[in-house]
Amino acid sequence: MTESVKFDKMAANYDAARGGEGRGHMTAATISTHLAPGSVLEVGVGTAVVAAGLAALGHTVRGVDVSQPMLDVAATRFAGELLIGDGMALPFEDGSQDNVVYVHALHLMPDMPAALAEAARVLRPGGRVVVRHGDPVAEADDLVLILRQVQAMQPARPDEPEAVRTAAEKAGLRVLRQALEPEYESGMDPDTFIALITNRQVPFLQKLDPARAAEVVAPILEQLHALPEPKRVRRQAWSCWLTAAEKPV
């Protein structure tokens, strides 16, 4: 399944499983302080929750995505420019962008160094790339401990910090900052987590046939069903990696 087809199918329910506009605005705030002056291009803009957050902070933002259904959802909340396009071949002239942003999208590119080289191509000298990447981490509670087990089942991510740093440097960018930084706060109860698992809303489960997915998640569901107060929301503060890099002047 291509990335476009996968996200086409997820567009209508994408925000419900990922925090929606609240998370998008919090993430936008963490990105804003690392941007160079000027406009922002978000690659993999999706449903534009982050783009809308950046726009609310006063930034001029445009977005690119491979999925038209995702862009259709984006247009309901974001009035900026939205383009269908591939992050491996951005539809912009050399040196035309002030900032390029990826929010948990860089790992979806088939070749991270080539994707960042394409970002560097469209950046002006002194422009910046800001990437939020990697699995989220939070202080342990009963739900987080189970989530860590789910994360451990997944294949190794291509956007681990050293891989992103290496890809940025290979693209000719100078890394200014790379750190685990707060990104968003959320709340979830065991019953909602059970629904996400059962409905295969966790991306790696979508790649398994239903029988194998059911086998994999059986011990997870058993632990979730055993938790007390299944409808009580647990609040978590999540951090993810942030890498900011600059195109040399």
| 83 falls within a domain | yes
Residue 88, classed as helix, strand or coil, is coil
What is residue 14's predicted lDDT score, i.e. its pLDDT?
Answer: 47
Any idea what the Cα angle at residue 98 is, between residues 96 and 99, rounded to 5°?
120
Dump strand ranges (E) for the chain: 40-43, 61-65, 81-84, 97-103, 123-137, 174-188, 234-246
What is residue 199's predicted lDDT score, i.e. its pLDDT?
Answer: 86
| 145 falls within a domain | no
| 168 falls within a domain | yes
Tell me which residues of the chain have a pLDDT lower than 50. Answer: 1-2, 4-5, 7-12, 14, 16-17
| 223 falls within a domain | no
| 15 falls within a domain | yes
| 144 falls within a domain | no
The number of distinct structural domains making up the chain is: 1
Instruction: Note down the domain range covering 84.
Output: 3-137+156-185+237-246
Q: Please give the structure tokens belonging to residue 221.
A: 């569901």
What is residue 125's predicted lDDT score, i.e. its pLDDT?
Answer: 99
What amino acid occupies position 117?
Answer: A
What is residue 83's predicted lDDT score, i.e. its pLDDT?
Answer: 97
Backbone dihedral angles phi then psi of residue 108, each to the nearest 5 degrees:
-85, -15
Nearest residue to 78 via CA among 36, 31, 46: 46
CATH number at residue 93: 3.40.50.150
Residues in contact with 227: Cβ distance below 8 Å, sequence separation at least 6, in sequence order: 142, 143, 190
| 166 falls within a domain | yes
What is residue 23's predicted lDDT score, i.e. its pLDDT?
Answer: 87
Contact 154, 204 (CB under 8 A): yes
What is residue 20's predicted lDDT score, i.e. its pLDDT?
Answer: 60
| 146 falls within a domain | no
